[in-house]
Chains A and B, each alone.
Chain A
Amino acid sequence: MKYYFNVYKRLLKINFSELIAYRAGFINSIISSLGWGFFQMVWVYLLTAKIKSAYGWNRDELVILAASYILFMGIFHMFFSRNLDNLSRIINYGQLDGYLLKPIDSQLLLTCWQINYSQIIRLFIGSYFITSTLIQMRYYPSVTNVIGFATLLIFGIILMYAIWFVVATLLIWNPQLSNLIDFLYNITGMSRYPPSMVKEFKSIVLLFFIPLMLTVAVPVKAMINKVLLGDIVQLLIFSIFLLYISRQFWHFALRYYASASS
């Protein structure tokens, strides 16, 4: 475990050095993160301009959900998404061999290699809008609410990571479908809506989205004191179970990896 901590510490340093070396790219990413962060807020303000509530969530709660989504995605994009983005290229060009040969867990190496520091801007935007909306609501969360929010957010990130990794693993069989990662970027947007939106429909296709929609909504419910024990249990079970599945699926998929330019 200590070995992995040391490796990760080294990765943090390497990525920071890269940021210093390629400052223009960093500024570009900051602009883009700023844009997407504010866009999420414009999105929710436009969507809720003519309504008072949706699926039991009032307007302010929907705004907090969207702001928490910005915060959540900031963390997720900072640590994981860029790595999964690269996975398709690594598989397609037969570079996976090199990663598999290294004396470190391949899943960890492939999904934690790059850290996108520019996403930190989303954390500030998300936090700002969460705080300002809570103040506007005249609701002041207790320490327990905040700790609950933070803890459940971590489980949400584990769950999101597991979903992304399972889908990205499919690229072992079909490396040309690199836009599966774009698909993931897109469907992740479902987590800014209330989960009851898909639960109410009871459609088999939509059931796939339920874990995704728990990732942000459950921590937000904990923050605004609306969380039920069932919500927490669902999130914990899904995150641990899917993390386990993602790992098993990766090892299973590797059996089918045909090496260079497969």
Chain B
Amino acid sequence: MKRFLKIVILHFEHVFENRARSLIWFIISLTNPLSLILFWKGASNGGNLGLGWTFSSLTTYYLLLALANAFLTSHIEEEVSFYDIKQGDLVRYLIRPFSYYWIKFIEEIPYRLLQGTYGLILLLIFIILFSHLVRINLTVLIIALGLMSAILAFFISFTFKMIIGLLAFWFKDIRGLYNLVDIVTIVFAGYVVPLEFFPSTLKNVSYLLPFAYMIYYPVIIIQGKLLLWEILRIVGIQFLYLSLFLVIQRLLWKKGIKEFTAIGQ
């Protein structure tokens, strides 16, 4: 545990060295939620949007989405596929006494914490300046279940991106696939509108896919929009998805490492 902590601290130093870069990444992730808030301001005329959503609850949703995105969305796929597998940096991980999965996980944590901190600062500024637009009714139970769902969401996101990155063992150029994954994630994780706004067929598809469980549901839980049994069902599905992805990741790693040529692909 001490060794892991030491590595986390070392990576924190590296992340803090590039904090301006990290801030720009955060601002990038913020542009869409903020532009959508502005859009809905005009589209809703500040009123009711139906399905239990008002302009203020939608504003809260997008703000929490920005915060959750900063904390929970992992972006390791490019590093795994391009730098580690294609360029051969994986060699230096193979000679270390840690599993590749966990060392990458530890490397990712400082980025998420720094960007999440930017997100928290933004949320606080919003609460201070536009308190009438931010509606969060937190109880101890909702916080606890929301946190549990958020942790699972991060693990799902991380493992999923790891799987996508590991595909580089077999494919020469998977940028097209990255883009498709990004697009599907944006739509089905609720980055455009809450899933309740979707047409019924698309809504049903979104409930089956894993993307909503990576970011949408933790946000909705914190917003207090789900009943206790619904939250427990979501957490159960998150466990299932995480188990499935872990198995796939292990399989891909075991088979893929045999394809690795140690001087890059």
**Given contacts A28-B176, A32-B176, A186-B32, is CB(A55)–CB(B42) below 8 Å?**
yes
B24 proximity list for chain A (CB < 8 A) = 177, 179-180, 182-183
Verify if A228 is at the interface (C-beta below 8 Å from B). Answer: no
Contact A42 B187 (CB under 8 A): yes
Interfacial residues of chain A within 64-118, with CB under 8 A of chain B in the complex: none
Q: Which residues does chain B contribute within 8 Å of A29, judged by CB atoms?
A: 175-176
Check if A187 is an interface residue, CB within 8 A of chain B.
yes
* A177 touching B20, Cβ below 8 Å: yes
Please measure, in the bound complex, the distance between the C-alpha atom of A29 and the C-alpha atom of B24, giving whole angstroms.
26
In contact, B28 and A186 (Cβ under 8 angstroms): yes
CB distance from A75 to the nearest CB of B (A): 19
B83 at the interface (CB under 8 A from A): no
Shortest CB–CB separation between residue A126 and chain B, in angstroms? 16
Chain B residues closer than 8 Å to A50, beta-carbon distance:
49-50, 197
Residues of A within 8 A of B21 (CB): 176-177, 179
Is A54's CB under 8 angstroms from B25's CB?
Answer: no
Bound form: Cα–Cα A43–B190 in Å = 11
Q: Is B4 an interface residue (CB 8 A)?
A: no
Secondary structure at the B interface, as helix, strand, loop or mixed, is: helix
Instruction: For the complex formed, measure the closest distance between the CB of B137 and the CB atoms of chain A, giving whole angstroms.
Output: 24
In residues 1-23 of chain B, which contact A (Cβ within 8 Å)? 18, 20-21
Number of interface residues of A (CB under 8 A): 39
Contacts of B197 in A (CB 8 A): 46, 49-50
> How distant is the Cα of A201 from the Cα of B173 in the complex, in angstroms?
44
Cβ contact of B25, chosen from A55, A179, A197, cutoff 8 A: A179
Q: Are B35 and A193 interface neighbours, CB within 8 A? A: yes
Decide if B39 touches A193 in the complex (CB within 8 Å): yes
The reply to whether B193 and A47 form a contact with Cβ atoms under 8 Å apart is yes
Is A145 interfacial (CB 8 A cutoff)?
Answer: no
A38 and chain B: residue at smallest CB distance: B183
Please measure, in the bound complex, the distance between the C-alpha atom of A55 and the C-alpha atom of B20, giving whole angstroms: 35
By the criterion CB–CB under 8 Å, are B199 and A49 in contact? yes
Q: Are A189 and B35 in contact (CB under 8 A)?
A: yes
B31–A190 contact, CB under 8 A?
yes
Bound together, the chains give a CA A80 to CA B203 distance in angstroms of: 38
A200 to B46, CA, bound (A): 14
Say yes or no: is A252 at the interface (Cβ < 8 Å to chain B). no
What residues on A are CB-neighbors of B198 within 8 Å? Answer: 46, 49
| A196 interfacial contact with B, CB 8 Å | yes
A60 vs chain B, min Cβ distance (A): 15
A31 with B192: CB separation less than 8 A: no
A50-B197, A177-B21, A200-B42 given as contacts; is B31 within 8 A of A39 (CB)?
no
Chain B residue, CB-CB nearest to A185: B28
Which chain B residue shows the least CB distance to A203?
B38
Q: Find out whether the CB atom of A24 lies under 8 angstroms from the CB atom of B42.
A: no
Inter-chain contact A36/B179, CB cutoff 8 Å: yes
Inter-chain CA distance A180–B28, complex, in Å, is 9
Q: Is B148 an interface residue (CB 8 A)?
A: no
B residues less than 8 Å from A46 (CB atoms): 187, 192-193, 197-198
Apart from A28-B173, A51-B43, what 11 extra A-B contacts exist at CB < 8 Å? A25-B173, A35-B180, A39-B186, A43-B186, A49-B197, A55-B43, A176-B20, A179-B24, A179-B28, A186-B28, A187-B31
14 A–B contact pairs at CB < 8 A? Answer: A29-B176, A31-B179, A35-B179, A39-B186, A43-B186, A46-B192, A47-B43, A47-B192, A50-B197, A51-B44, A179-B28, A197-B39, A198-B38, A201-B38
Name A residues whose Cβ lies closer than 8 Å to a Cβ of B: 24-25, 27-29, 31-32, 35-36, 39, 42-43, 46-47, 49-51, 53-55, 174, 176-177, 179-180, 182-183, 186-187, 189-190, 193-194, 196-198, 200-201, 206
Which 5 pairs, one residue from A and one from B, show the smallest C-beta to C-beta distance? A54-B43, A31-B176, A28-B176, A32-B179, A55-B42
